[in-house]
Structure 1
Amino acid sequence: MTYTHIAAVDAGNGGVNSVLTRLQDDKFQTPQADYFPSVRAVVRGKSLGLGASQELQYTPVEWHSQKYIIGDDVTRITKQGLDRFIGKDRYGSEFHQFLVAVALARLGVGGKGEANVYLSLFCPPGYFADQRETIKQAFMGKSVSIQYGDKLYQFRYGNVAVIPEGQAALFCFNLNQDGSPNEKNPLYGDVLFLDSGVYTLDAVLVSDGKVNPQQTASYSDKGIDFFIRKPLMQAAHESSREFEGVTEDDIDVLIRQYAQAQDDQGRWEACNLYHGGYTVDLFSVMQRQIAEYTKWINNNVLARYDGLRGIRHVVLVGGGASLITPLMIEMYPDKVKNSSEPPHYAAGRIAPVNMNAYGGLRVAIAKVRT
């Protein structure tokens, strides 16, 4: 059975969002999505052979003859010698290639012989002009072999597109799920995309479905890390000496659980940080920092767009979107909508954190169709 594999992998500072579909006999399969934190550590020890009941288990990854632990396994197994995906020069690097390969292996690409992949990748708008060709050269035409768990995965990047983050979400509206142009695109007039990541916040103004480059801005060091993660980690450290060993990886887990909670009780439970048998309640700190982040966005980003005068909608994208959406809706109830309301539902009710990846997937599908 022969498939064309079509994927988008959004490797960010905090995590890797990926989505995959397969084409067979002119039919696209339902997309599969995956996420894991963008952190790794070299495996230096060996299993004692005690089994799952007495020994911590993890999924090893073998890449270029070196074994690694990735994602949440890192937080559970070791906090030493961690490698995090940060810095401007990370794009196209060996670590970037590693994360993309892991993402595709986790989605099952190339588990039955070498697979050809149409791939979309991303970088912040502020880096796009400098990094686009670097990224393409690092991936285009390359054959990859990676062992995830006990299985070998092999694939080749037959086609690679590089898309600016934030702007990629636009394709969730401009293109249908099959990659064809969306004739009923709801993004007429001026629509502002805000992409809140771990380290950066990107603002992209779209006019009648097209990006306005003169009204696009990237704010470095103004993301979740500065406004939420660091204050939470500091609060944990200061609460008791028992929490001085808490790392940003522990806080990342807490933030993800908070973002995924369905009600206030779930959000409060998510903010109870467990560490070495001790517990600290960080709920009030989380609430305070989300309010501070939202206020900063309003005063420093939205003010640039005249307090949203003349802008029809604000589309919130990225990992920070679910945190700031409730307060943003309170400030601008006629402008900011959640993912189940217009204009988001026109994109297929895609969660904000996945919109870049799904937009990139539609771009890759469009390339397959041409």
Structure 2
Amino acid sequence: MLAGLLFAIHDADDQPDRLAATLPFGGLTLIEYQARLLIAAGAAQIILIVARATPELLGAISRIGRRGVAVDAVRSAAEAAEKIHPLARVLMIADGLVTTEGIVAGLAQEGGDALLVVPETDAPTGFERVGGQMAWAGVARLEPGRIAEVARLPRDYDVQSTLIRVAAQARAAHVELPVTALRDGHGIEHHAGSLDRRSRTVLAASVAGRRGWFDRYVLAPVARWTLPLLVYRKVPGEGVAAAGAILGGLGLFGIASGFAATGLIAVLLATMTLALGATLGDLRDQPRLVLAERIAAVAMPLIAILLFGWAVRAATEDGAPLASAITLAVLAGLGERAIPSATRRSWWGSPSAHLVVVTVSAMLGVPMLGLAVASIYAAVTLADAIEKLRQQP
């Protein structure tokens, strides 16, 4: 069992009457974002050590609870020790830490005490020294006994700092922060203005960090510019989903009406819009909308490919394009079903990636070549995914 440990202790530097953990972040609060990272890593319980109960914090706790995890707010290490299961692994995130899902997931694996660290020479403000010329980078995996040790100390000790020192004295393993993480916004922030700038970087990096070349090299550059605007202008998730659906519908109509290249481009843009909408909905706790957008982002490219094959068959009076399109859709659909996102290799295909291949071939006037190449690509992806599944214990 994995339990998350969060803190809402420090006041914001520029808003002394507000906890830094409740500052706005990506359309929610920072502590809600941290809780989302823990839940994505597998946490079934979240403990919040708080300094005081503010209206913003109470609202955040209520919204975290809606994600289906047990949430307990406590004021001391002793109370936290009582709430955490003795056999749980504790994943702790620093008060005010901004990071990405991949960083947190890396510390969520089985094992003993471990500290995420960075060389002192590279450590930004707020990172605590842990010895060995290293500084704590804000994430730690702890045994429950560490919290019990701190609970036996005087109450005026800083719980977060003391836990790190106790773990360091117990020779916790050091896991070095990836060199790109600081560039992607990883850091501790207690200032509202700086947090706003950092959150924009992290939101874009969260898309760029996904596996798969389409997400990383096509979707991520678009997300870097558009996602922060959608968040901070409070564009409703339903509006993004509607825009994607309308654009996709127009694209499919265009393919069926003989404007194949234009229609395929429109469907590709619609798929990207739906993917961005799913990220936005995930931040805003809209699980049904997220599920619908993710399904549409997979189904729409496959439908477009089938329509394209049908359109080419009608134009050439040759059944090969439609047969190739059907084969491609089946292979791509099976591959998407068989590949867990966490184990996806960067070169593997996806419905969106196959749609890019078909769209480029349509623009170049060689539709059959594009369908054939994409079908082979889908077959190789599926075959490699099956072999990887067979190698798992």
Q: TM-score category by the smaller chain?
A: under 0.3
Larger radius of gyration: 2
Query: Which of structures 1 and 2 has the larger relative contact order (alpha carbons within 8 angstroms, sep 6+)?
Result: 1
TM-score by length of 1: 0.27
Task: Give the helix-richer structure, 1 or 2.
Answer: 2
